[in-house]
């Protein structure tokens, strides 16, 4: 992971859990998916699960509550320090998701959320490492930055108008990202966050399948809510009228998260994948729905 990402997350650790309205919706929707889709296999008793890029332990805590022996890994020492203050039973480790310090087949399930995959230098290497530590049949829930969204349009218009909504991006930067050929890796500079990799469903599915992680289902979070500029929602509080509109948009966004076009036009792309057996090809019974 780039050094600036580590520095950024170390610096923001103190306020990491003070969620803005944008993140409240993201994690409420994501965690509902997590609880529904990563139920522990009954035959394994209390299996192990990994939260790769755990931050302060949002997903780690849920995995523990669900009955897993939860392990969390993050590169940021300060975020892990905060996680240790709220996670009693979970095992936490400092490390890089691109070089996981665990044995092959150690986990029955894994999460890689918080846009971790968008921060790493080599997304394929990160997925290869997660696949390595998953047992055959193990499931992975990935959340990363989506490549296409209405918010890109807001960011481009904002640049043309002189940054009234505070995106901090020039129209040329947004245009270059939007027109990057599909065959090439797409990154966009997010002020304060660095250059984040943006993924399409097709691109992420290809990377997963290359590591014998077969996509099962896909969701898109923050698609309908993009009718409002994202920067409006990155605030501690919303005005009464904006809050009322946002409540309606959140309801629609969550209801349509697993459907097209939300799965193709979203800020946060979520994919559930299952690890196949050695030498096995894609499972014809599984497909990306939505």
How do residues 265-283 score in pLDDT, each as one tens digit? Answer: 999 999 999 999 754 444 4
Instruction: Say if 38 falls within a structural domain.
Output: yes
Instruction: Say if 280 falls within a structural domain.
Output: no
pLDDT number for residue 163: 95
pLDDT number for residue 18: 63
Tokens representing residue 76 in the block: 């940021």
Q: Which residue has the tokens 């020492």?
A: 77
Where does 30-133 show beta strands of DSSP type E? Answer: 48-52, 69-74, 91-94, 107-112
- Chain-centre distance for alpha carbon 5: 15
The C-alpha atoms of residue 197 and residue 219 are separated, in whole angstroms, by 18
Instruction: Say if 91 falls within a structural domain.
Output: yes
The C-alpha atoms of residue 164 and residue 76 are separated, in whole angstroms, by 33
Tokens representing residue 57 in the block: 């332990």
pLDDT number for residue 281: 46
pLDDT number for residue 85: 82
pLDDT number for residue 11: 53
pLDDT number for residue 190: 84
Question: 195: which strand partners?
Answer: 189
Instruction: Say if 283 falls within a structural domain.
Output: no
The C-alpha atoms of residue 262 and residue 258 are separated, in whole angstroms, by 7
Task: Give the angle 8-13-254 at the CA atoms, nearest 5°.
Answer: 90
Antiparallel, parallel or unpaired: β 134-145 and 268-275: antiparallel
pTM score, whole prediction: 0.90
Q: Which residue has the tokens 């919706």?
A: 25
- Structure-derived torsion over alpha carbons of residues 123, 150, 181, 286, reported in degrees to the nearest 10: 50
Q: Which domain holds residue 229?
A: 3-275
Residue 132 belongs to a domain with what CATH number?
A: 3.40.50.150
pLDDT number for residue 250: 98
The C-alpha atoms of residue 113 and residue 116 are separated, in whole angstroms, by 6
Q: How many Cα atoms occupy the beta-carbon half-sphere of 106 within 13 Å?
A: 16
pLDDT, one tens digit per residue, over 105-142 is: 999 999 999 999 999 999 999 999 999 999 999 999 99
pLDDT number for residue 218: 98
Instruction: Say if 290 falls within a structural domain.
Output: no
pLDDT number for residue 212: 97
Instruction: Say if 229 falls within a structural domain.
Output: yes
The reply to whether omega before 261 is within 30° of 0 (cis) is yes
Instruction: Say if 195 falls within a structural domain.
Output: yes
CA distances in angstroms from 212 to 41, 168, 209, listed in the order given: 20, 39, 5
Are the C-beta atoms of residues 72 and 60 closer than 8 Å to each other?
yes
pLDDT number for residue 290: 35
Nearest-CA neighbor of 1 among 71, 55, 58?
A: 55
Instruction: Say if 284 falls within a structural domain.
Output: no
91: which DSSP letter? E
User: What strand order describes the sheet that includes 107-112?
Assistant: 91-94, 69-74, 48-52, 107-112, 134-145, 268-275, 213-221
Rounded to 5 degrees, φ, ψ at 107 are: -125, 145
- Structure-derived torsion over alpha carbons of residues 114, 58, 15, 233, reported in degrees to the nearest 10: 60
Per-residue pLDDT of the chain (290 residues; tens, 9 = 90+): 555 555 555 555 455 556 799 999 999 999 999 999 999 987 778 899 999 999 999 999 999 999 999 999 999 999 999 898 878 778 999 999 999 999 999 999 999 999 999 999 999 999 999 999 999 999 999 999 999 999 999 999 999 999 999 999 999 999 999 999 988 999 999 887 788 999 999 999 999 999 999 999 999 999 999 999 999 999 989 999 999 999 999 999 999 999 999 999 999 999 999 999 754 444 433 344 33
Domain count within the chain: 1
């Amino acid at each position: 992971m780039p050094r600036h990402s580590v520095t950024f997350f170390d610096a923001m650790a103190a306020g990491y859990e003070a969620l803005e309205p944008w993140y409240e919706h993201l994690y409420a929707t994501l965690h509902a998916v997590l609880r529904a889709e990563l139920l522990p296999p009954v035959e394994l008793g209390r299996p192990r699960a990994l939260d790769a890029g755990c931050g302060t332990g949002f997903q780690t805590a849920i995995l523990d509550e669900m009955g897993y022996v939860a392990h969390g890994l993050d590169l940021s020492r300060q975020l892990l320090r905060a996680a240790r203050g709220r996670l009693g039973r979970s095992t936490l480790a400092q490390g890089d998701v691109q070089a996981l310090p665990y044995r092959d087949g150690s986990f029955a399930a894994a999460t890689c959320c918080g846009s971790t995959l968008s921060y790493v230098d080599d997304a394929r290497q990160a997925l290869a490492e997660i696949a390595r530590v998953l047992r055959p049949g193990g499931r992975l829930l990935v959340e990363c930055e989506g490549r296409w969204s209405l918010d890109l349009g807001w960011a481009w218009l904002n640049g043309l108008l002189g940054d009234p909504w505070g995106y901090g991006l020039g129209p040329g930067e947004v245009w270059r990202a939007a027109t990057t050929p599909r065959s090439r890796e797409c990154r966009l500079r997010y002020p304060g966050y660095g250059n984040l990799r943006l993924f399409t469903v097709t691109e992420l599915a290809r990377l997963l399948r290359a590591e014998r992680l077969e996509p099962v289902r896909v969701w898109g979070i923050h698609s309908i809510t993009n009718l409002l500029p994202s920067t409006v929602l990155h605030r501690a509080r919303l005005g009464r009228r904006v809050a009322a509109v946002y409540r309606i948009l959140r309801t629609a966004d969550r209801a349509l998260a697993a459907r097209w076009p939300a799965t193709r036009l979203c800020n946060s792309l979520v994919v559930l994948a299952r690890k196949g057996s050695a030498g096995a090809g894609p499972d014809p019974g599984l497909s990306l729905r939505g």
